[in-house]
Amino acid sequence: MSVTTTPVSQSRFLQRIQGVPTETTPVWLMRQAGRYMPEYRALRARHTLLEMIRQPELAAEVTLQPVSAFDLDAAIIFSDILPPLEGMGLELSFVKGEGPVIHNPVRTAGDIAALRVPDPHESMQGTLEAIRMVRPELDARGLPLIGFAGAPFTLACYAVEGGKSRYHENARILMLSEDALWDQLMTKLATTAGEFLLAQAEAGANVLNIFDTWVGELAPHHYEQRVLPYVRQMIDIAAGAGKPIILFGVGNGPLLEAMGSSGVDVIGVDWRIDLRIARRRLGPDLVLQGNLDPVALLAPWDVLRREIDAVLAQAKGDERFIFNLGHGVLPATPVDNVRRLIEYVHEAR
């Protein structure tokens, strides 16, 4: 007896993106593979984060952990937005308690000129191989795979600051005061990230997600003039694959019209904006993704359920809505809450 699965092309997730009615709301979670899962922590105890990203067997295993544990509607390839910077010439490590560190941050005209635009087939071959490795298992489950990359502004924040930073002031001073250098840096980042997205699609990713985490701190006119053109450059390259593209940013409410004009198919929003307002501002055609506060997953089930209901009420009747969090799953999240959230969203009609 053979088990019949729906082909990936008819998965809820891809159907929603294409505007085809589905019987229930598709759901996936940013950072769905991570420290809240005991399977992840067990592997992480024996390997560094960069090993787990660079070794295709490990990245493939972690990618599949959440889709094996839960009834998710998509997998996202296990990586991070920062490893592509290594191929550009930056030295990256993840330091316990500190997060990402770039040991040779970009500070001068010479630093920017020295940045390479690497061939992703060489610099990111581990991730591309991991994508090829998870494909058969995902096909058997009828699940699409999301490939991703950081957007130029968010990558510039890390490249220039050399790690996490409260205000990203060095990157933003460069943006405001050095037009030619900013253009050179952002073009290199957009090209690197765009070509990496294209390569992921060619390796087997069905959907491409652009993370522009830190854009919410920008004035709308700065976003439109000094950031959006490079998001468009990146999208123009990635769009060559013909796959749907998601664009997400934390606190991007004030930028929705600008982000919606970028040429992507899906806009991801966080909990700081009501989904009905986001829908009105984006118009009827774009798909909307979001926006449960990840902190709600730390609360008891009755509180979490109330918060899920609030998101679903905001999205009621919206045929172009994908359920997600407004940012990544927090490490302290109980696994059981993730399971119940996914079941609950699927049961709600």
Is 35 assigned a catalytic role? yes
Does 171 sit near ligand CP3 (CB under 6 A)? no
Does 321 sit near ligand CP3 (CB under 6 A)? no
CB 59 within 8 A of CB 33: no
**Contacting range for ligand CP3; rule: CB under 6 A; set: 72-80, 170-178, 239-247, 308-316:** 72-80
Does 268 sit near ligand CP3 (CB under 6 A)? no
Q: Which is nearer to ligand CP3, 74 or 115 (CB)?
A: 74
- Active-site residue among 12, 54, 80, 281? 80
Backbone angles phi, psi at 100, to 5 degrees: -70, 145
CB 75 within 8 A of CB 200: no
CA distance 7 to 5: 6
CA distance 97 to 81: 18
Q: Are strands 145-150 and 99-102 parallel, antiparallel or unpaired?
A: unpaired
For residue 246, how many other CB atoms are within 10 A of its CB? 21
**Contacting range for ligand CP3; rule: CB under 6 A; set: 30-38, 85-93, 289-297, 310-318:** 30-38
Backbone angles phi, psi at 58, to 5 degrees: -70, -45
- Active-site residue among 158, 223, 279, 281? 158
Does 211 sit near ligand CP3 (CB under 6 A)? yes
Does 200 sit near ligand CP3 (CB under 6 A)? no
CA distance 91 to 159: 10
Q: Which is nearer to ligand CP3, 61 or 80 (CB)?
A: 80
Q: Which is nearer to ligand CP3, 35 or 346 (CB)?
A: 35
Does 47 sit near ligand CP3 (CB under 6 A)? no
Does 213 sit near ligand CP3 (CB under 6 A)? yes
CB 71 within 8 A of CB 25: no
Is 305 assigned a catalytic role? no
The token pair at 192 is 């690197």
For residue 146, how many other CB atoms are within 10 A of its CB? 22
Does 99 sit near ligand CP3 (CB under 6 A)? yes
List residues near ligand CP3 by CB under 6 A: 30-35, 44, 49, 76, 78, 80-82, 94, 99-100, 148, 164, 211, 213, 327-328
Q: Which residues form the catalytic set?
A: 31, 35, 44, 80, 158
